[in-house]
Amino acid sequence: MHELPLVFFTVLGQMGAGAVFISALYSLTSRVQNTVKIERINIAALVVMAVAMGIASLHLGHPLRALNVIFGIGRSPMSNEIFTFGILFGITFVSVLLAYFTQPNKGSKLALVKTLANRINTIPRINTIIALLLIIVSLFFVWTIVATYMIPTVQNWDTGYTALQMYTAMLILGGILAATFGLRRAGLALFIIGALIVLATKLPYIRFLSQHTLELVQAQYYWWLLQCGLLILSVFIALRNSRKSCRSTPVYAIALLLALVAELCGRIAFYNLWAIPM
């Protein structure tokens, strides 16, 4: 499948965006800050985003073609998408560096970087500024993905359901990733909200699509069945694990893996719906 790199890029990109969105939201709203959890989630998000960028380069045929993105900023939705993703990665990276180098006994061998980090951290409300930037840019990045695929000539994509899919993937994957790395309540809450929205809107979505390309829709039933089944199983495992007195991180990781495969199935079905009416 030629679109597989895009499947993985969009899904993993939304996972990373969702994770930093939740960690930044927690940073802004929590009375008691847990910087270790925030740093851990942001590092995990960076790894996910780095993998997404590596996979996206495969779609270009040659990684150096990614430089052409610069020339399309503003007029090309895909260029806007990749450029915004790079900004999100950069802000997250800066956030992790600032958190790391301002800890005691950390980064002593890189004195210049540590000094610079300490100076930046003297800026009034710098953590709040970074958190707000992460929230805004993560939401905007997902919107650039929506804008890339809401093409007027493709009826199956030019619908509000496209935006719904992209943002629920952000909540589902970002939420369970955040829960896995420490933000249990906030992560699980957004994960479950996203999953319930997907499950509640799947049949109306299929009915809408059936009005345009019934044969294509019928060919995707298997993918949607897998998506919904794996999502339900993932929610069940996560909820059951959250009720235990001693919560197991590996069990959350299993729920994360199931949710990731579920969203990949849903995204494959989405790309398979490409059709331009004659």
Question: pLDDT tens across 224-246, in order?
Answer: 999 999 999 999 999 999 886 56
Q: Is there a contact between 240 and 121 (Cβ–Cβ < 8 Å)?
A: no
Burial 121-145 (b: 16+ CB within 10 A, else e): eeeeeebeebbebbbebbeebbbbb
Under 8 Å CB-to-CB from 276, ≥6 apart: which residues?
153, 154
What's the pLDDT at 59? 58
Tokens describing residue 203? 């049949």
Specify the pLDDT at position 212. Answer: 87
Instruction: Determine which of 75-89, 107-121, 232-246 has the lowest per-residue pLDDT on average.
Output: 107-121
pLDDT at 64: 54
pLDDT at 62 > cutoff 60? no
| Tokens matching residue 274 | 């490409």
Calculate mean pLDDT across residues 184-203.
Answer: 95
Structure tokens at 84: 């915004």
Do 179 and 241 contact (CB within 8 A), yes or no? no
* The pLDDT value given to residue 72: 64
Residues 6+ apart with CB under 8 A from 141: 13, 17, 81, 84, 85, 87, 88
- In this prediction, residue 116 carries a pLDDT of 73
pLDDT for 270 beyond 80: yes
State the residue for tokens 């919107």.
143
Cα dihedral sign, 152-154-156-162: negative
Provide the pLDDT for residue 45.
96
pLDDT band at 106 (very low <50, low <70, confident <90, very high): low
Q: What is the pLDDT, as a whole number, of residue 203?
A: 96
In whole numbers, what is the pLDDT of the chain averaged over residues?
87
Residues of the chain with pLDDT > 70, as a percent, come to 86
Give me the pLDDT at residue 245, please.
59
Residue 70 confidence (pLDDT): 62
Q: Which residues of 158-195 are buried (b: 16+ CB within 10 A; e: fewer)?
A: ebebbbebbbbbbbbbbbbbbbbbbbbebbbbbbbebb
Prediction pTM value: 0.90
Q: Residues 146-175: what's their mean pLDDT?
A: 95
